[in-house]
Amino acid sequence: MEILHPLNNEVYPLNTEKPRAEPAKEEEDYKENGVLIRSPRTVQKALGEDRNTPSKLQEKDEKDQASFSGHIGEGKGGDGAPALHSEVDKTVPAGRESWSKKVDFLLSVIGYAVDLGNVWRFPYICYQNGGGAFLLPYILMAMFGGIPLFYMELALGQYHRTGAISIWAKICPLFKGIGYAICVIDLYISFYYNTIISWALFYLYSSFVSVPPWTSCDNKWNTPNCTNYFLKDNATWTEFSVSPAEEFYVRQVLMAHKSNGLGDVGGINWHLLICLIIIFTVVYFSIWKGIRTSGKVVWVTATLPYIVLLILLVRGATLPGAWQGIIFYLHPQWGKMFTLQVWIDAATQIFFSLGPGFGVLLAFASYNKFNNNCFRDAMITSSVNCLTSFLAGFVIFTILGYMAEKRNEDVSEVAKDLGPSLLFITYAEALANMPASSFLSAIFFLMLVTLGLDSTFAGLEGVITAVLDEYPHLLRKRREWFVLVLVMICTLGSMSTLTFGGAYVVKFFEEYATGTAIIVVVFLEAIAVSWFYGIKNFRKDIKEMIGFIPGKFWQICWAVISPVFLLFIIISFLALPMEIKLFNYTYPYWTKVLGNFLGMSSIIWVPVYMVYKIIITPGTFKERILKSITPERSEIESSTVVVHLNAV
């Protein structure tokens, strides 16, 4: 069908209520967002039999176009041509999906942003960096760094309505390699992140017994150092003591005792392979049809964790020693605010918690309606994410206070575990020694599984949307097959993490494949948008969508503060080289060299594509550079209809 641009009296600001007339049936004309949409019957009747003769409808189109151009006169350049923000093609293929409900989008973004790191990393980072005093650097870093980047990606995806690769043709073609780098990083994450979910799934399976197996020292995997201080009042905890929960995690789930480190990872851990296959099967059938199916799945996977967190919070608050844990969690140590490490940890935590730069926010926002209020969405979802991290801290530290009470130790000794060990050893042990231990353990690990699944759905959707939008004619109608191939690649890439030394591989990928690499990519993204595309054009794009220009605060953040925020994290990572340890294994020097190559394998796509783009662009070197940094205009058409969105 054909769509006419609105007449003078048919244009309404996007931030006001617009009259809408729903079509009585498919064959009738109707208006949507001030745009007159002609039915095929009207178009055919107006065009007549002789298509070589201009019809009345075609003449009316030309008059309407001329009339409509007057409304965007503010955006014209000196030569009368439309300004850059008006030149960006806002045509979208009719076959592109959109969210069936606004809440589907919000739950998907919340499910992506709220992941396992909110449960295990934030509480540890908070108490390690001064308890309540850490909240001030955290909030400041969120306000000036994390949330502006989060808002920027939602706005970019919604305006340009395309994925992480092809969007750069509309912003700055020279930086298109950013999209390929993002896809590579997302694949690396899928190689190890889903293995962690498989650990939680194995724990969930092991919870369906009267007494969880990590409560006693009478199992075949236990050693003489196993000490069960929960069930034995006269048990003595020494520096050589190992809890039954730790031995279950290390010797039964991971079987890490059969590996000597990255140099000798050993064979395949078959029970984890089965768990991983189950995980990827659920992932495939949740995303294979697109956001209309995954948008329904998140109604369960994104809401269930909050129900479980509230149950565990209420239960934990009633335990002896719980308040001791909360005091330790929130007690402010103001002196730590003046140390550089606190600000580095705050910046890193908020960045990886909100998750800009992984292509997910671009993908999810690209399925929104053009005039959706992305500013409000950014404020809601980022606030929910930060509050969830704070809530998870209470849930974790009430249990840690209880553990300290039982061990007759200080909370700092109990809370020394970082990362997965905090969940799979310390927290699992506490739950298993409470009344109704099997039920509490089951819902806790079910929560971990759902938290992980949400992030996996989102991460793979970021890759799928990026690739399908870049190669629509080849892959869009073959989405199910492409998703199947992608899931198989992720499964094969995860095999090294399923070995006896898989935990060492997971730690290796986590530190080197995603850490510095993704921050460099987002830094380049912020530079490309703010300095090459321009804040002036970007703010006009946002006004076209939501009806008002972002305030000076946001513009300053995008142009200056956010890039400085990212550069601060990058320099901190480079200036403070980390020594990686896991259990009693210290990673040797060769792993650092290999890790740096792994990190560069994603970033390298950015300069490689820059060189490629300059080579294939015709003209002198100066002309090639200018063309490479100028947004391209494209007409995205489908075989049935082209929808032209109205600009304000």
Q: What is the mean pLDDT of residues 114-131?
A: 82
Candidate from 114-123, 155-164, 483-492 with smallest mean pLDDT: 114-123
Angle at 548 between CA 542 and CA 553, to 5 degrees: 80
Residue 582 has pLDDT above 70, yes or no: yes
The pTM for the full model equals 0.81
Q: What is the mean pLDDT of residues 168-178?
A: 95
> Which two tokens mark 230?
């929960």
> Which two tokens mark 320?
């002896």
Residues in the chain, overall count: 648
> Which two tokens mark 527?
């530079």
Measured between alpha carbons, how far is 226 from 221 in angstroms, rounded to an integer? 10
> Which two tokens mark 281?
């099967």
Q: What is the mean pLDDT of residues 194-214?
A: 93
Measured between alpha carbons, how far is 302 from 105 in angstroms, rounded to an integer? 11
Measured between alpha carbons, how far is 205 from 446 in angstroms, rounded to an integer? 10
pLDDT tens, position by position, 220-236? 999 888 887 766 555 66
Confidence of residue 480 (pLDDT cuts 50, 70, 90): very high
Residue 375 has pLDDT above 90, yes or no: yes
Kindly state the DSSP code that residue 477 receives in the 8-state scheme: G
Candidate from 106-110, 279-283, 425-429, 477-481 with smallest mean pLDDT: 425-429
Measured between alpha carbons, how far is 234 from 309 in angstroms, rounded to an integer? 33
Which pLDDT score is estimated for 634?
53
- In the chain, count of helices (H) and strands (E)? 30, 7
Which pLDDT score is estimated for 234?
57
Mapped onto helix, strand or coil, the DSSP state of residue 504 is helix
Share of the chain above pLDDT 90, in %: 48
Mean per-residue pLDDT over the chain, rounded:
81
Residue 366 has pLDDT above 60, yes or no: yes
pLDDT tens, position by position, 503-529? 999 999 988 888 889 999 999 999 999
Mapped onto helix, strand or coil, the DSSP state of residue 375 is helix
Q: What is the DSSP string of 501-557?
A: THHHHHHHIIIIISHHHHHHHHHHHHHIIIIIIIHHHHHHHHHHHHSSPPPHHHHHI
pLDDT tens, position by position, 413-451? 776 666 788 889 888 888 887 888 899 999 999 999 999
Which pLDDT score is estimated for 227?
82
More confident residue, 144 or 638: 144
Which residues neighbour 444 within 8 Å (Cβ) at sequence distance 6 or greater? 308, 312, 427, 428, 431
Which pLDDT score is estimated for 40?
53
Which pLDDT score is estimated for 616?
94
Candidate from 245-249, 266-270, 289-293, 610-614 with smallest mean pLDDT: 289-293
Residue 493 has pLDDT above 90, yes or no: yes
Which pLDDT score is estimated for 240?
76
Residue 484 has pLDDT above 60, yes or no: yes
Which pLDDT score is estimated for 546?
93
Which pLDDT score is estimated for 49?
42
Closest CA to 565 of 175, 179, 142: 142
Closest CA to 424 of 198, 111, 191: 198
Residue reference for tokens 């350049």: 77
